[in-house]
Structure 1
Amino acid sequence: MSIVVRDVREHELDSVLALNNAAGPAILPLDAARLRHFFERAEYFRVAERDGTLAGFLIGMGSHSDHDSSNFRWFRERHPDFFYIDRIVVASRRRGGGVGRAFYADAQSYSELRYPQMACEVLLDEGIIDPVLLFHGSFGFREVGQHVMPETGLRAAMLMKELCSFDWVRQTYGPQLPREAWIVEPRSALLAPRQTGTCQ
Structure 2
Amino acid sequence: MNTLLPISRVSPQDEPAILALNNTHAAELSWLEPERLSFLLGEAFYARCIGALEAFIMTLDQDAHYDSPNFLWFRERYQRFVYVDRVVVAGEARGRGHARRLYQDLFDHTSRAGQTIITCEVNTDPPNPASDAFHAALGFAEVGDAVIHGGKKAVRYYIRQLAG
Match of 1:8 in 2: 10
TM-score, normalization by structure 2: 0.92
The one-letter amino acid paired with 1:105 is Q
Give me the CA root mean square deviation: 1.4
Residues paired across the two proteins, number: 161
- Between the aligned residues of both structures, percent identity stands at 30
Q: Which has the higher contact order (CA 8 A, sep 6+)?
A: 1
Whether the 8 Å CA contact 2:126–2:154 is kept in 1: the answer is: no
Name the structure 1 match of 2:41.
39
Aligned ranges 1:19-38 → 2 under 5 Å? 19-23=21-25, 25-38=27-40
Deviations 1:56-86 (A, max 9, x none): 1111011122221110110111111111110
Equivalent pair of 2:126/2:153 in contact (CA under 8 Å)? no
Cα-to-partner distance string for 1:67-111 (whole Å, 9 max, x where unaligned): 211101101111111111100011011111100011100111111
Q: Letter of the 1:126 partner, please give it.
A: P
Tell me the distance in 2 between the aligned counterparts of 1:79 and 1:42.
18
Shift of 1:3: 2.4
Q: What is the distance in 2 between the residues matched to 1:5 and 1:130?
A: 26
Contact 1:23 1:92 in 2 (8 A): no
Computing the radius of gyration from Cα coordinates, the structure with the larger value is: 1
User: 2:24 & 2:93 partners in 1: Cα distance?
Assistant: 13
1:143 aligns with 142
TM-score normalised to the size of structure 1? 0.76
Question: Where does 1:27-176 land on structure 2 (aligned, <5 Å)?
Answer: 27-49=29-51, 53-113=52-112, 114-127=114-127, 129-150=128-149, 153-164=152-163, 166=164
What are the ranges of 5 or more consecutive residues in structure 2 without an aligned counterpart? none
Unmatched runs of 5 consecutive residues or more in structure 1: 167-200
Q: Matches of 1:126 and 1:2 in 2, distance apart?
A: 32
Confirm or deny: 8 A CA contact 1:148 1:156 kept in the other structure: yes
What CA distance in whole angstroms lies between the structure 2 residues aligned with 1:110 and 1:70? 25
Cα separation, 1, equivalents of 2:20 and 2:31: 10
Return the offset for 1:151. Answer: 6.0
